[in-house]
Amino acid sequence: MEMLIHTLIISLLLPLLTLPIATGGGSGSTVVENTPSNNNNNKININTNINSGGGGTSNSNINKIIKNNNNINNINDGQEQNDGIPLSSRIVNTKYGAVSGTILHLENRHLDAVEAFKGIPYASPPVGSLRFMPPVTGALWSGIKKADQFGPVCPQRFPDISNETAALERMPKGRLEYLRRLLPYLQNQSEDCLYLNIYGPVQGM
């Protein structure tokens, strides 16, 4: 009986011992860091319609509070090459024009880099005659739009958190910390705020 059990164990393990073993790296940050961008081989085409309902935005003032916080986000926008220039992403052709973003490296070493395309307009600015109207198709652009900056955010009233003691009387500490992290992204407000920020895995470049 013992001999039979040993035979069964060996027969189960033998196929595992003959499996091929993969070696070497994949398509991680090493490939990205050593590959030039903005060439024809890196171009892809995207033809996507984005429709959203709703009306325009109203004017309101934000409480201007500038507060330093070293833990604002988990994305390191300052990841740069030795020459101080951020890595550019592929050139992506959309139905409105070509865009190029940046390569962002996350602070978590277990996460791969991402391609970021910031501030891409998806509709005409909802101002003037378009105020309080459904979004209208945006204008085409020529050349390559560098999508490396956030667009304005829609006007909104932000809670006054300049006095921490007073703020904690109205909200939990967790919410206060969340608002502090959010505040830097709300400094640039405008009714012209119909922009997309797109993040995706870095493709083989």
Query: In the chain, where are the structural domains located?
Result: 31-201
Q: Report whether pLDDT(76) > 90.
A: no
Three-state SS at 166? helix
User: At residue 47, does pLDDT exceed 70?
Assistant: no
Residue 4 has pLDDT above 50, yes or no: no
Q: For the chain, percent helix, then strand, then coil, each to nearest 5? A: 20, 20, 55
Q: Which of 24-38, 59-73, 87-101, 162-176 has the highest mean pLDDT?
A: 162-176
Distance from C-alpha of 38 to C-alpha of 42, rounded to nearest angstrom: 7
Q: Are the C-beta atoms of 86 and 32 separated by less than 8 Å?
A: no
Residues 6 or more apart in contact with residue 163 via CB below 8 angstroms:
none
Q: How confident is the model at residue 86 (pLDDT cuts 50, 70, 90)?
A: low
- pTM of the full structure: 0.55
Q: In a 10 Å sphere around its CB, with 0-12 CB exposed, 13-18 middle and 19+ buried, how is residue 92 labelled?
A: buried
pLDDT recorded at residue 204: 54
* β partners of residue 121: 195
What local confidence, expressed as pLDDT, does residue 85 receive? 52
Give the pLDDT confidence of 108-166 residue by residue, as tens digits. 888 888 999 999 999 999 999 999 999 999 889 999 999 999 999 999 988 999 999 99
